[in-house]
Amino acid sequence: MATKVVAQPGESVDSLIRKFNKKVQNEGILQEIKKREHYLKPSLKRQQKIQMARKKYIRSKF
């Protein structure tokens, strides 16, 4: 999986870097790397999933 940013004629390097950062953020690459950084036991994954569902439910009520 390669993330590419194509330069338009006359486009500055700064704008290319901003485009690249935005693309990486939208694809969730950094979040995936952070998630894979440490092993998480399946039981803890389930607990985390339940906690996130509770948070979403509480947020949706207010």
**pLDDT tens digits for 3-62?**
899 999 999 999 999 999 999 999 999 999 998 999 999 999 999 999 999 999 999 987
Reading the block at residue 45, the tokens are: 């994954």
Give the pLDDT score at 41.
94
Say if CB 29 and CB 3 are below 8 A apart: yes
- The rounded radius of gyration (Å) of the Cα atoms in the chain is 18
Cα separation, 23 vs 13, in Å, equals 15
pLDDT for residue 58:
92
Q: What local confidence, expressed as pLDDT, does residue 19 receive?
A: 95
CA 43 to chain centre: 23
The structure's pTM equals: 0.56
Q: What is the pLDDT of residue 1?
A: 65
Residue boundaries of the structural domains of the chain: 13-61
